[in-house]
């Protein structure tokens, strides 16, 4: 079986993408698969010229170029029948847009709620935005269409003029669209690793409980060891956090997964506040696979090894 692994791309998530590719290379080699790695953007022309040589494309690009469907759409135009890992174009584009995802999840009226949110750009009237957040002691501002590990800020609303200035400076410096959201004081942060069978019926492999010293789960906490993570299979999670909470999480997350038409595998992040309420954060349709990443840790625990995890993936495509 010939597999094309796509990695690299630009800016902040490039390093994560390259490290994820190393993990995939290791367990694909142990499964004796024929792999060729393409580092983008420099190898873009090459992969577009040779797509017909491969049985499966695995895009491991965690930001623009991958999760926004750019490179796969170009490959599919040249070779419409070639299979690829991860979700459909529509599902990935929606999940890549945090504002749009929040709007959809909010309308589902689940027990897992979406913290209050607005979208902002340089052309946005910041005075109008601030008025909507005046009753929240803190807000979080993060990129709307790229990874939340970078360029995410927690701001106080005590001094409105200062907050407006801080928001304007963030928008001006990045000149991009940001999501401004009610900041939730976190009792527990969780991440659910989800997988689909060959009939696209999703199930939760496990739920990770994340503890860290920072205000939020940023790049340092995710990839530099500044967090402690416990990975639970569902029976273990239920024993530690209770049957009622586990049922709510299972029902609501699978509802979101199905409603957004996500397939193969993804990760959904959410938190619990000090009143016990669950709050949705975001969906990651191409989860990181570095040595420090959540999804491979859960997959190894569920399937016993990443090689066995790969065998489960192959069954999705009848390979």
pTM: 0.92
Each residue's pLDDT tens digit, 77-113: 999 999 999 998 889 889 999 999 999 999 999 999 9
Is 131 exposed, middle or buried, given 0-12, 13-18 or 19+ CB atoms closer than 10 A?
A: exposed
What digits encode the pLDDT tens for the residues 146-192? 765 668 899 999 999 999 999 999 998 876 899 999 999 999 999 99
* 219 pLDDT tier (thresholds 50, 70, 90): very low
Residue identified by tokens 């492999």 is 205
pLDDT in tens, 285-309: 999 999 889 999 999 999 999 999 9
Compute the mean pLDDT over every residue in the chain, rounded to the nearest whole number: 91
Domain 93-113+185-316 class, CATH top level? alpha beta
- Please state, in angstroms and rounded to a whole number, the distance separating the CA atoms of residues 289 and 6: 13
> What are the residue ranges spanned by the domains of the chain?
2-85, 93-113+185-316, 117-182
Q: Does domain 2-85 have CATH number 1.10.3720.10?
A: no
* 3.30.1490.20, 3.40.50.10490, 1.20.1090.10, 3.40.720.10: CATH of 117-182: 3.30.1490.20
3-state secondary structure of 27: helix
Q: What's the pLDDT at 223?
A: 46
Number of residues written out for the chain: 319
Residue range 215-224: average pLDDT? 49
Whole-angstrom distance, CA of residue 295 vs CA of residue 222: 12
Question: Phi then psi for 239, rounded to 5 degrees?
Answer: -65, -35
Lowest mean pLDDT among 78-92, 126-140, 221-235: 221-235
Instruction: Indicate if the alpha-carbon torsion angle 165, 167, 170, 172 is positive or negative.
Output: negative
| Rg for the chain, CA atoms, rounded | 20
3-state SS string for 208-268: EEEEECCCCCCHHHHHCCCEEEEEECHHHHHHHHCHHHHHHHHHHHHHHHHHCCCCCEEEE
Q: Render pLDDT for 237-278 as a digit per residue (tens, 0 to 9).
A: 999 999 999 999 999 999 999 999 999 999 999 999 999 999
> For residues 24 and 225, what is the distance between their CA atoms, to the nearest angstrom?
21
């Amino acid at each position: 079986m010939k597999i094309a692994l796509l990695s690299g791309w630009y800016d902040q998530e490039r390093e994560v993408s390259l490290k994820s590719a190393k993990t995939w290379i290791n367990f694909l080699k142990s499964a004796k698969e024929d792999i060729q790695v393409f580092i983008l953007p420099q190898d873009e022309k090459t992969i577009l010229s040779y797509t017909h040589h491969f049985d499966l494309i695995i895009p491991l690009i965690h930001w623009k170029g991958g999760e926004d469907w750019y490179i796969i759409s170009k490959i599919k135009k040249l070779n419409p029948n070639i299979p690829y890992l991860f979700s459909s174009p529509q599902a990935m584009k929606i999940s890549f847009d945090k504002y749009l995802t929040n709007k959809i999840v909010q309308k589902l009226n689940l027990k897992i709620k979406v913290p209050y949110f607005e979208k902002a750009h340089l052309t946005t009237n910041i005075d109008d935005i601030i008025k909507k957040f005046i009753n929240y002691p803190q807000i979080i501002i993060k990129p709307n269409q790229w990874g939340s590990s970078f360029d995410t800020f927690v701001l106080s609303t005590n001094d409105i003029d200062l907050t407006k200035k801080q928001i304007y400076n963030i928008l001006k410096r990045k000149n991009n669209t940001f999501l401004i959201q009610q900041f939730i004081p976190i009792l527990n942060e969780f991440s659910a690793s989800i997988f689909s069978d060959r009939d696209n019926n999703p199930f939760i492999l496990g739920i990770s409980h994340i503890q860290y010293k920072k205000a939020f789960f940023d790049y340092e906490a995710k990839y530099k060891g500044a967090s402690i993570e416990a990975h639970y299979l569902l029976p273990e999670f239920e024993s530690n956090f209770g049957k009622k909470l586990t049922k709510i999480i299972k029902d609501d997350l699978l509802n979101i997964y199905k409603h957004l038409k996500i397939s193969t595998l993804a990760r959904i992040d959410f938190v619990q506040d000090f009143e016990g309420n669950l709050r949705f954060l975001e969906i990651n349709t191409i989860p990181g696979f570095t040595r420090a990443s959540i999804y491979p840790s859960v997959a190894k625990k569920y399937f016993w090894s990443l090689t066995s995890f790969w065998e489960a993936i192959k069954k999705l495509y009848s390979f």
